Structure 1
C-alpha cells in the first residue's frame, strides 16, 4: 500500500526504492504498480502521512547522519 501511495503521489521526480531479500517480497512490491486509488482514498492516506513526526533515529544515531 505504501509503495502504491508513493507511486501515485510522488510525481516523476520521486522513485520508491523498496528492499526485498526474497522473490516473494519483490513480487508483492511489483503489485503496487497495479493498485489504483480513488481520490478519497488518497486524501485519507495523505492525512495519515501528515501525522508522522519525529526523528528517524535516536539522538546517538542522529549524531552519525551526514558524516
Structure 2
C-alpha cells in the first residue's frame, strides 16, 4: 500500500536518512521516497499507516498528515 505523509522538521540529508532508516527498520521491504522541499514522505509498505507514522514520530519528526 502506498502512503504519503507530510512530515515537519526534516531540514537536511541526515534527517532524510534518519526517517528512511526508521521506516526500513519497521519494514525492510518498504520503498521510501522523500521530497524534503515539499515535506513529503512517500512509503510503499504493507504496514499500517499508524505504524509508519509512529516510526517517523519516534525519530522526532512531526507527522502532519
TM more than 0.5: no
Higher relative contact order, chain-length normalized (CA < 8 Å, sep 6+): 2
Instruction: Give the helix-richer structure, 1 or 2.
Output: 1
TM-score with structure 2 setting the length: 0.28
Larger radius of gyration: 1
TM-score with structure 1 setting the length: 0.28
